[in-house]
Structure 1
Amino acid sequence: MTDVRALLTGVYEMVRQDLPTLLSMRRNITWKDDGSPVTDADLRVEKHVHAYLRAHLPDLTFVCEESYAPGGDESPTAWTAVLDPIDGTENFCSGFKEWGVSLSLWHEGAHAGSALLLPELGDSLMSGDKIEYQRSRIIGFSSSITDELAARVARAGEARIMGCAVYNLFNVTRGALAGFSNPAGAKSWDILAGLMLAREHGCDIDVEGALYGGHYLRPDRKYRFDIRHRYDLHPG
């Protein structure tokens, strides 16, 4: 039987030990066609995590932001890994510590385990972790600014835009954010691990306007979502 917890922990330890090298690469930037940055560190994390998982899961389907091509691996097979090697690259290459690694493992279409890693902050959240829930009335929002998002921010009262889905998902799962919303949509590698962990910890989750039941999200599209933590300090 595959020890998924050991795999997730192994990935975190590998990234943590490689952190000095990754930080030295934060200014080695190239630009994607959409104008967003990618650093040598993004590619390094992808390469090392892929090799590590492939060594333990030989039949692996690997879905990753930096190497994904539409029309490729879009449905889970025996083992599937969905990875965002550095989520919040804009934060990372600007010198912020609020960036993370998102990894979700699936076996024959069923969720096997997920991890949100915040290496520079020295924190992580994995499937099976016990956490002390916080209470908050702060709503986190994605940094993809639209008219709808701006209107929601104006209504939220206490709002935060952090520029990193992993950081937001980590904090809404533990209750430091009362909610996290992305009305513009995000790809599966940005959110799948976080959605599964939020679901594990009892958050209410809507994806594309419907209650999220924990199903696999295909990587060939974006998904709009709202997450609400059970410990919400808003009156009523």
Structure 2
Amino acid sequence: MDINALLKECLAAIESMMPQIMERRYRIEYKPDSSPVTEADRFIEGKLHDLLRNRLPDLRFVGEESYDFQAGGQDGYFVLLDPIDGTENFCSGLKEWGVSLGIWKDGVHQGSLLMMPELGEHLMTGDPAPGLRSRITGFSSSYHDDIAAGIRDAIEYRVTGCAVYNIYNVVRGSFARFINPKGAYAWDLLPGVMLALEHGCLVRVNDADYHGQFLEPDRKYRVDIRNRHNLHPG
């Protein structure tokens, strides 16, 4: 299976679905944790599930909107998907939201895609990164006392409300660093983390150096990602 060709097919599918996605943007419900979910979240997840299931034999698919939070094995093909990361941004009419997709086989990473459809930007396995240099630290929008301390000490900081956008910017060098000290699920983080490793970023997960091992989707993880050209002190 040519995974890069499959990722490009997923990218093209999302681009082609944008009119239907935008139609569903403001059809909002709220989950038990009070976070929003839109019809567009479920629409994207369903369409990509069908596409990938037809391409990958014996697929185990984990999407944010359909996962039952039970840990399982990693045999065969395994897909992690967050159909809309930054749903609060999306359903508020902001453009900083993204799709996070990663593919593994027998526990080994095969390829990942980060896509910001309204911004017209994406990054997938094998793509070059521009190697920009920045002093900006991005912080998660989920409050934690460490964020207040980090904002106090940062030269420049941003809180964008979208992990996909934050990690994408670290990989390309538009951010020096991204920190989420409260934690997020693997579908929010892992595809982007794998791209960060591919491009030589320094990654820590749960306060330990991270080297690419699979992260189970039934728990949250704290991350700290630094670009190789990090200009931020410390």
TM-score, normalised on structure 1?
0.97
CA RMSD in angstroms comes to: 1.1
* Alpha-carbon distance in 1 for matches of 2:137, 2:232: 10
Give 3-state SS (helix, strand or coil) of 2:91's partner: helix
- For residues 153-176 of structure 1, the C-alpha deviation after alignment (integer angstroms, 9 at most, x for no partner) is 111121100000000010000110
CA contact 2:129–2:171 (8 Å) conserved in 1: no
Alignment-mate amino acid for residue 22 of structure 1: I
Give 3-state SS (helix, strand or coil) of 1:82's partner: strand
Alignment-mate amino acid for residue 138 of structure 2: G
In structure 2, relative to structure 1, the CA distance for the partners of 1:235 and 1:82 (3 Å cut) is closer
Q: Say which of 78, 99, 105 aligns to 2:103.
A: 105
- Report the counterpart of residue 36 of structure 2 in structure 1: 37
How much identity, in percent, do the aligned residues show?
53
Measured after TM superposition, the shift of residue 131 of structure 1 is 2.0
- For residues 117-140 of structure 1, the C-alpha deviation after alignment (integer angstroms, 9 at most, x for no partner) is 111111110000012111000000
* Alpha-carbon distance in 1 for matches of 2:206, 2:144: 16
- Report the counterpart of residue 222 of structure 2 in structure 1: 224
- Report the counterpart of residue 59 of structure 2 in structure 1: 60
- Report the counterpart of residue 168 of structure 2 in structure 1: 170
Measured after TM superposition, the shift of residue 21 of structure 1 is 1.4
Measured after TM superposition, the shift of residue 25 of structure 1 is 1.1
Structure 2: give runs of 5+ residues left out of the alignment.
Answer: none
Measured after TM superposition, the shift of residue 235 of structure 1 is 5.9
- For residues 79-109 of structure 1, the C-alpha deviation after alignment (integer angstroms, 9 at most, x for no partner) is 0000000000000000011100000000011
* Alpha-carbon distance in 2 for matches of 1:200, 1:235: 24
Q: Say which of 137, 156, 165 aligns to 1:139.
A: 137
* Alpha-carbon distance in 2 for matches of 1:76, 1:28: 34
Measured after TM superposition, the shift of residue 74 of structure 1 is 3.1
- Alignment length (residue pairs): 234
Q: Say which of 149, 157, 160 aligns to 2:158.
A: 160
Give 3-state SS (helix, strand or coil) of 2:5's partner: helix
- Report the counterpart of residue 50 of structure 2 in structure 1: 51
Measured after TM superposition, the shift of residue 233 of structure 1 is 2.5
Q: Does 1:212 align with 2:215?
A: no
Q: Does 1:15 align with 2:14?
A: yes
Measured after TM superposition, the shift of residue 5 of structure 1 is 0.3
* Alpha-carbon distance in 2 for matches of 1:204, 1:19: 34
- For residues 147-206 of structure 1, the C-alpha deviation after alignment (integer angstroms, 9 at most, x for no partner) is 121111111121100000000010000110000000000100000100000000000000
CA contact 2:69–2:218 (8 Å) conserved in 1: yes
Alignment-mate amino acid for residue 30 of structure 2: W
Give 3-state SS (helix, strand or coil) of 1:63's partner: strand
Measured after TM superposition, the shift of residue 209 of structure 1 is 1.0
TM-score, normalised on structure 2?
0.98
- Report the counterpart of residue 77 of structure 2 in structure 1: 79
In structure 2, relative to structure 1, the CA distance for the partners of 1:171 and 1:153 (3 Å cut) is same
* Alpha-carbon distance in 2 for matches of 1:89, 1:138: 23
* Alpha-carbon distance in 2 for matches of 1:178, 1:212: 18
In structure 2, relative to structure 1, the CA distance for the partners of 1:217 and 1:235 (3 Å cut) is closer
Q: Does 1:27 align with 2:26?
A: yes
Give 3-state SS (helix, strand or coil) of 1:135's partner: coil
* Alpha-carbon distance in 2 for matches of 1:148, 1:162: 17
Structure 1: give runs of 5+ residues left out of the alignment.
Answer: none
CA contact 1:105–1:114 (8 Å) conserved in 2: yes
